[in-house]
Amino acid sequence: MHTDVNELFSALWTDYIQMTPSAAKVHELLGKGEDIINDHIALRTFNLPKVNLQVLAAHFEALGYKACGDYNFEAKKLNAKHYEHPDPTQPKVFISELLVEEFSPELQDKVAFLVEQIDEQALTQKDFLYSGRHWKLDSETYQALLAESEYAAWVAAIGYRANHFTVSVNHLPGYDSLQEVNLALKEGGFVLNTSGGEIKGSAEVLLEQSSTMADQIEVAFEDTKLKIPSCFYEFALRYPKPDGELYTGFVAASADKIFESTNAVSGKQSA
């Protein structure tokens, strides 16, 4: 496990921009060469005891992070929690897990077979949260998982790494609204997730979010290579609560749509 928060996020970022070439370009466009404050990052996993949400969370808890909110996504069959660090300038962390037992016996067997292949020791190693895939995967298994759950297929193919980083628009110089950020992104040629509208949430729920659609990158399977969705970039604007402090939670209805940023863009799915 890491002993330094900044070192962990820096390693997560290095891995993330390798998986998400557009993220470096978005960072340059919005940050104009300066650092950008991250609102949060997100990670995904399966709820099997060996690799569940808690196993990932332990890496953040060791750095002082505390669980702050629980979320459930009934249709997608996911649970999630968010974590906060005592230093509010550190990114929040959103971790979700797939409720594997709610899927077909076939999916359950396939996921169990992947998870069995992880070396137990790897789970607590420093680099686990950006270590990618720990199993062999063929394209047939990927497609079978994809037919039942886009999320299951994503974790199977992409593995353990930041699914997205999120620009804190509150801390982004030169932009006063999420509309302005979205406009700059579209003018820059980036494709936004329009599920549930370009902007998810509102001032009323104290959080507005938007995101790019995940990059499509070539991923190697046992039998072939496929161009599939990797990771995306998110943008968040938070509003103050009645006590004047910015809201720090998430909004389940909005998160439900953000998950769809890794859906395949039609016509661009295969290599």
Q: Which residues bind ligand OOG (CB under 6 A)?
A: 42, 44, 94, 96, 163, 209, 234, 250, 254-255, 258-259
Is the CB of 42 or the CB of 51 nearer to ligand OOG?
42
Report if residue 234 touches Ni ion, rule: CB under 5 A: yes
Work out the number of other CB atoms within 10 angstroms of the CB of residue 196. 15
Q: Is 172 left (phi over 0), alpha (psi -120 to 50) or beta?
A: beta
Q: Which H helix or E strand runs over 107?
A: helix 105-116
User: Which of these ranges, 44-52, 150-158, 179-187, 231-239, lies near Ni ion under the rule CB under 5 A?
Assistant: 231-239
Is the CB of 17 or the CB of 39 nearer to ligand OOG?
39
- Nearest distance in Å: CB 209, ligand OOG: 6
Report if residue 84 touches Ni ion, rule: CB under 5 A: no
Report if residue 15 touches Ni ion, rule: CB under 5 A: no
How far apart CA 16 and CA 19 sit, in angstroms, is 5
- Nearest distance in Å: CB 90, ligand OOG: 16
- Can you tell me which residue has the tokens 């193919």? 157
- Nearest distance in Å: CB 250, ligand OOG: 5
- Nearest distance in Å: CB 64, Ni ion: 21
Q: Are 118 and 50 in contact (CB under 8 A)?
A: yes
Work out the number of other CB atoms within 10 angstroms of the CB of residue 135. 14
The strand pair at 225-229 and 216-220 is best described as antiparallel
Report if residue 260 touches Ni ion, rule: CB under 5 A: no
Q: Are 28 and 157 in contact (CB under 8 A)?
A: no
Q: Which does 141 bind (CB under 5 to 8 A by kind): ligand OOG, Ni ion, none?
A: none
Among 128, 185, 130, which Cα is nearest to 17's?
Answer: 130
Q: Which does 47 bind (CB under 5 to 8 A by kind): ligand OOG, Ni ion, none?
A: none
C-alpha of 179 from chain center = 22
- Nearest distance in Å: CB 3, ligand OOG: 26
Is the CB of 113 or the CB of 247 nearer to Ni ion?
247
Report if residue 39 touches Ni ion, rule: CB under 5 A: no
The strand pair at 207-211 and 216-220 is best described as unpaired
- Nearest distance in Å: CB 194, ligand OOG: 16
Q: Which does 73 bind (CB under 5 to 8 A by kind): Ni ion, ligand OOG, none?
A: none
Sign (positive/negative) of CA torsion 146, 261, 21, 53?
Answer: negative
Is the CB of 32 or the CB of 241 nearer to ligand OOG?
241
Is the CB of 23 or the CB of 42 nearer to Ni ion?
42
Among 83, 63, 89, which Cα is nearest to 71's?
Answer: 83
Q: What are the tokens at 142?
A: 């990927």
- Nearest distance in Å: CB 237, Ni ion: 13
3-state secondary structure of 2: coil
Is the CB of 139 or the CB of 168 nearer to Ni ion?
168
Report if residue 208 touches Ni ion, rule: CB under 5 A: no
Q: Which residues bind Ni ion (CB under 5 A)?
A: 42, 234
